[in-house]
Every structure is written in C-alpha cells, then in structure tokens.
Structure 1
Amino acid sequence: MLDEGSVISYLNERGLISGNATVEVLTGGVSCVVLAVKSAERELVVKQALPELKTKAKWVADQRRAIVEAEAMRVYQSITPDSVPELIDCDEANFTLTMSRLPNTCTNWKQDMLEGRIHPEMGEKLGKVLAQWHNTTAVDSAIKAKFMEGELFEQLRVSPFYRAVADKNPNLQQVINSLIEEITTEKIALVHGDFSPKNILATPDHSPIVLDFEVAHTGNPVFDLAFVSAHLLCKTIRTQSEAEKDALATTALNFLNSYRETSRISIAKSLPLHVALIALARVEGVSPVNYLDEPAKQRLVATTKSALLDSTMTFEQLFEGAK
C-alpha cells in the first residue's frame, strides 16, 4: 500500500511527475488511502483501494472497485465535465487512481452543512447533475453492459446497509427484502452508489463536484436519490436549530424537484422507504455516522422505523417529521 514515503517514487515511476514533491494525507473515508501530491508541474490526488475497510465491524471489499471507479469517472466526466475531477492515470495492478486535484477554494459539502453553512441551491444543482447521468446512461446499452456486475454493490451497500438492518429488525424484514429486490434486480441506468455529501465538494458559487465512484453499477436510480437524501435527513435530525432544519429540508426538496424536472426516468414510489432505511442504517448498520448524539439517534430510529411501517408516507412528510 502507498504512503507518504512511497508515493513520490511511485508517481515518478509512472511518469506522472519528475523529481521531488510535497505530500499531504487526505481523509479517505474508510475505504481508501488518499494522498495529495504537489510537484513543480502539477497537483495530483492519488487514491488506492484498501482490502479491508476501516470500520469497527469487519468489512472486507474487493479492491477491483478502483478499476470500476476509473471507468465510471470517465463516463460521468464525459456527461458533466465541470462536475467530475479529471482522471489522469489508472494503475489496475495496484488498484490505484491518480486524478487532478481540485482548487483549494472548494469545500466539503458534508462539513459545510455540519458547520451551519447550508445553501439549498446545492440541492437544486445536484439534482440536475444526477438526472443527466441517469438519463444518458439509461439509453446506452454499452455502458450498462460494462457495469452489470453487482458484487461490489452487494459488498459495499446492500449487505452493510440493507441486510444488516434487516438482521436486527425481524418486523422490518419483509419491507426491507422488497427494497433489496428493487435495487438489485432492476437494471435501469448507471448508479453512482455512494452519492453522499462527504463525496461532494462545493465550489465558491455553490456548485457540486462529485467524487468517489467505486460503487458504480448498473441498477436502480432510486438508490442514488435515497442515499444522499438519507444523509440530509440525518443532518436535519441532528441540528437543534430550526433555521438549519428548514434549510436542510429545503435542500432535500430542491434536490428532488430538480431531479424530477430534468429526469426522463420516473421516480420510484418506494423512495421514502429507501431514504428511511438508509438513514436507519447510519445508526444500526455496519457504518454508523459519527455526528449524532444519543437523543438524536433515538429520534432518527423512531422516525425511520415509523416510516418503514407506513408505506403511504411521502418524501415531504418524512422530512417534515425530522424537524
């Protein structure tokens, strides 16, 4: 595995830089080593997939996801070049990607929201980007064929989020199994699979740049819609500020409405159930969020379990209940 001491010689061997450079360790979440490298010629980010994710519960995932990520980046970059970093190199033997580093004027969307910097227009712009991705890939049979394998999605999303919650809640197993069926058998478009605020940077004019494509797969677009919405739901429940709650709920509604206006794919009626389940998994699944205190966790569990038992609850009602 690459580290601060070896990455410069690695990049020199790959012909991506020449000579010395400075190295900075970036936050790679739980799944990757991520290093920023600045040479005389360019600024790069090097990302290498870990064989075992850094979570309290054991979570092993195939390092081939790095190759999937490179292929997905190329697809998404071709559709929305301003919303995806430039891929410079893919080293399949070492499961390593090298990409251009984004300007330091960009901020992490998750951190922005946790610190009270909530700009609902981010939701609107993000919905349009996602709809463009889904629209384009839904009608491209070659792209869909390339990403048809579902094993990585099972390892990284279905098992730790859906099945883990089902194992802990026998009374929810029927509804969860139906949701699993929906996201694993309906092959509609290229799905990002990790459409989360931590993987989205905000430019100074509040436009999104999306990162981390290793869970990309041909599947049901409802998963992308639900994944980011679940994070917004968690953050709505977390804050005690009424103004922040309103702004976060508005961001979520802007996102969904913008997606609906741009998308040529109908939104699944099950969306609120997927949102509730993924949010619940951030407390009861393999990868819990680290920003909810105990009262907030209890409110989230109560809100989401109630929604999972009520098939009539709408997206708007789910967020209204989170206030």
Structure 2
Amino acid sequence: MAGFSLLARVASHPAGAQDAAMGETTPPPEILDGLRRMGLLGAATPAGAPLTGGVSSDIWRIDLPQGPVCVKRALARLRVAADWRAPVGRNLYEARWMRRAAASVPGAAPALLGQDAESGSLAMQFLPAAEYRLWKTELRDGRADPCFAGAVAQSLVRIHAATAADPSVAAEFPTDTIFYDIRLEPYLVATARRHPDRADALLALVAATQGNKRALVHGDVSPKNILVGPAGPVFLDAECAWWGDPAFDLAFCLNHLLLKCLWTPAARERFLACFDALVNGYLSGVDWEAPAALEGRAARLLPGLFLARVDGKSPAEYITEDAGRDRVRRVARALLADPPDRLSQVRDAWREDLTT
C-alpha cells in the first residue's frame, strides 16, 4: 500500500464533489469499522467530513493520525430522480481497477490504501485541490486544452492496451451484471423506451457492446472523474469497471466534449479540438485490434450515449433548455438511423447543427 505522505484532497472526491457538506463530524460507524478491518484505524474515533456531489456513494474525508484519506462507501440506490439501483459489491471492482490502472500507467489513479468488502468501502489517497484540478470545472470555464485531452487519450489507451495483452485480467472482473445495471440499462435501454422508433438501434448497441470483450473498461470516463494533475490525468470513480469493449470508454468521454458545447458555447471550437485530440491520441495507441474496427464501434455507440444524456436515467444537469435538448435529439436520432463509421462524422453533424 502507498504511504500517507501523499496528502488527500477535500475539494473534489471520486464522484466529483466540490465541498464538504458540513463541518467536522463523526463518520458513520460502518465506515469506521471498515477502516479498522483495513488496518488503517486504531481504537480512537477520528473526525471527518462528508463530501457532496456523489450520486452513487457516500464519500468522506477521514482525518487519521497519519494524515487525511478519502473513503467511499457504495450505495445500493443511486441519488437520482429515477429508480436506479446497483450492487454494492462494485466497490471491490473499483479497487481492482485502481490497482490495474496504476500498474499500467503509474499515477493514473489515486493510490489505493485499502478495501473492505463487508462495508463496501475503499480508502484512497486524498489529493489536494490546489494541485489536482477537476477537468469538468476547467471545461465549464472554457479552459479546454487539446494537449490535456490528448494526455487523457494516451493514458486511457495504455490501460486498455496493457490489459488487452493480459486476458487473465478478465477473471478479476465478473461484472457483466453490474455494468448492465449501471451503464447499459440506464443509458441505452432506458432511452430506447423513450424513443421506440429508435429502440432497435439502441438495443443493437447494447448487444454490440456486450459482445466485444477485449480489455479492462473504466466505464465512467467523464470530465467529472478526471483530475488535471501535475504529472498528467488522474482517473477516479471506476465503479463500473468491466472486462469488455474499450470503445465504450472512448465514446463515453467524447460524448461529454460534445455536450459541453451547450454548456459553454464560447468554447465550442476548443471543445471540438479536444474531441479530435482525444480521438487521434487514442486511436494511435490501439494495438490489440484494427483501430478502424474500434473506431466504428465507438462512432456507432456515441449517438446512443448522446441521446441518453437528455432522455436516459442520468440527464446532463447543465442542459436545462428545451432548445438544447432538442438539438441533441435531432442529431442523435439522425445518426442512429444512419450509423456512422468514423467519429469525425459525429463531430461534423454536431458542429453543423450548432451553426444553424
């Protein structure tokens, strides 16, 4: 385990929290018991602070004598308007993803300090906000850097390539049901119910994603789960970790760069430049299959994920106007009816609609 010389962060936790919900208080007994079983806590009861912003876990800063740590405890029912449930055992697989990612790309994940299956908790390095900025906040403020997007791509594809080269990793992630419950059902299946005339296309994307098991997938490669660290990107919140189709991670991240054009319109061209940097940086590192084959799956999946962020169970919170939602629907539905083979086709269709 990594030592506590690496300080923790309180400003943004693995689910994207920004501030402590309240002042110092006593953490829940389940979390404290989990820390004791991890061997990180003695008899004394430490202070801590809950962190806001997560929908899938309780997140706490715990002030141990050795230094602060971040502790996550998975929730059975996610904090969203829809009835969205997921097995709490996903916490174990997040810990495993963190170990595998760090082995593939040192520094790509916070140092894992311990994991307790009984409480569904894990403890990790706590990174200071002054040194680790949240990429989502950077993008919201229009600071869209294609070089950083390229670094995200390079780290992500290195993790995929390292695990694709070692198929034995698959046995550590028997998470087909979890991935379906957290990703495929609330995004693609739920959206199919809202768009019955595109249901066949959306359900075909589910089948294609399930049928291409090639590497270790993070499952939530979103700017809210990526820190701009001093040595490069740091990936958080791998609760959806799955041995499956790496095209999902690529499409999932690209989706956010397209959607951000509605959040901060003045930075639209910079977001699209980040889109291109992410595509080019990622595809240049694909060595486990033909890059064009992976790009085709990602290009066809992207419109489904795009539509899901307005009509699935987890709508993007910053798309608040009907005009924006209608733009997403118009572009996504057209692409679902005539599926693209290249990611540039999705980008161009979106850019064209934004300029009309």
TM-score if structure 2 supplies the norm length?
Answer: 0.84
1:296 maps to 2:324: yes
Which residue identity does 2:337 align to in structure 1?
Answer: L
C-alpha distance in structure 1 between counterparts of 2:347 and 2:203, whole Å: 24
May I ask how many residue pairs the two structures share in their alignment? 318
Question: Structure 1 residues 21, 148: CA separation in 2 closer, same or farther (over 3 Å shift)?
Answer: closer
Which residue of the partner structure matches residue 169 of structure 1? Answer: 195
Task: Confirm or deny that 1:6 pairs with 2:27.
Answer: yes
- Note closer, same or farther for the CA distance 1:289–1:12 as it changes in structure 2 (3 Å cut): closer
Distance of aligned partners of 1:238 and 1:9 in 2 relative to their CA distance in 1, 3 Å threshold: closer
1:197 paired residue number: 223
Q: Could you say what secondary structure the match of 1:163 adopts?
A: helix
**1:26 matches 2:51:** yes
Q: Which amino acid in the other structure matches residue 293 of structure 1?
A: T
Q: Which amino acid aligns with 1:304?
A: A
Aligned residue among 284, 297, 300 for 1:273: 300
SS in 2 for 1:82: coil
Pick the aligned partner of 1:102 from 127, 130, 139. 127
Q: Tell me if structure 1 keeps the 8 A contact 2:296–2:340.
A: no
Seen in structure 2, the aligned counterparts of structure 1 residues 268 and 118 have a Cα distance that, compared at 3 Å, is closer
CA offset digits 1:240-290 (Å, max 9, x no partner): 21xx11111111110110111112132241322211111211110011111
Q: Distance in 1 between matches of 2:47 and 2:346?
A: 47
Q: Deviations 1:9-35 (Å, cap 9, x if unpaired)?
A: 547734424556542322352100111
Confirm or deny: 8 A CA contact 1:108 1:197 kept in the other structure: yes
Q: What is the aligned partner in structure 1 of residue 152 from structure 2?
A: 126
* Partner in structure 1 of residue 40 of structure 2: 16
Superimposed CA distance per residue, residues 221-248 of structure 1 (whole angstroms, 9 cap, x where no aligned partner): 110011111111111233321xx11111
Alignment of 1:89-238 (within 5 A): 89-104=114-129, 105-204=131-230, 207-238=232-263
Secondary structure of 2:240's aligned partner: coil
Partner Cα separation in structure 2 for residue 172 and residue 152 of structure 1: 25
Q: CA shift at 1:313, angstroms? A: 6.3
Structure 1: runs of 5+ lacking an equivalent: none
Structure 1 residue 312, shift from structure 2 partner: 3.6
Any conservation in 2 of the 1:134–1:221 contact (CA below 8 Å)? yes
Distance 2:248 2:139 in 1: 22
Find the counterpart in structure 1 of residue 64 from structure 2: 39
Is the 1:236–1:245 contact (alpha carbons within 8 Å) kept by the matching residues of 2? yes
Distance change >3 Å, CA 318–CA 312, structure 1 → 2: closer
Instruction: Spell out the pairing of 1:41-80 with structure 2 (5 A cutoff).
Output: 41-80=66-105
Task: Please identify, of 215-224 and 229-238, the stretch whose mean Cα deviation from structure 2 is larger.
Answer: 229-238
Match of 2:12 in 1: none
Cα separation, partners in 2 of 1:40 and 1:188, compared to 1, 3 Å:
same
1:259 corresponds to 2:285: no
User: In the aligned structure 2, how far is the partner of 1:148 from the partner of 1:139?
Assistant: 18
Please give the secondary structure, in 2, of the residue aligned with 1:202. strand
Equivalent of 1:311, from 318, 339, 356? Answer: 339
Identity within the alignment, %: 30
Against the structure 1 CA distance between its residues 184 and 4, is the aligned structure 2 distance closer, same or farther, given a 3 Å change threshold?
A: farther
1:322 counterpart letter in structure 2: W
SS where residue 115 of structure 2 aligns?
Answer: strand
Distance 1:253 1:301 in 2: 22
- C-alpha change, 1:38 and 1:246, in structure 2 (3 Å) is same
Q: Deviations over 1:196-217 (max 9, x none)?
A: 1111111257x21001111111
2:265 counterpart residue number: 240
Kept after mapping to 2: 8 A contact 1:237/1:322: no
Instruction: Give the residue type in structure 2 aligned to 1:161.
Output: Y
Partner of 2:349: 321
Q: Is the 8 A contact 1:31 1:52 kept in 2?
A: yes
State the distance in 1 between where 2:90 and 2:162 align: 22
2-structure distance, mates of 1:9, 1:224 = 33
Task: Point out the more displaced range, 165-174 or 52-61.
Answer: 165-174
CA distance in 2 between counterparts of 1:260 and 1:116 reads: 25
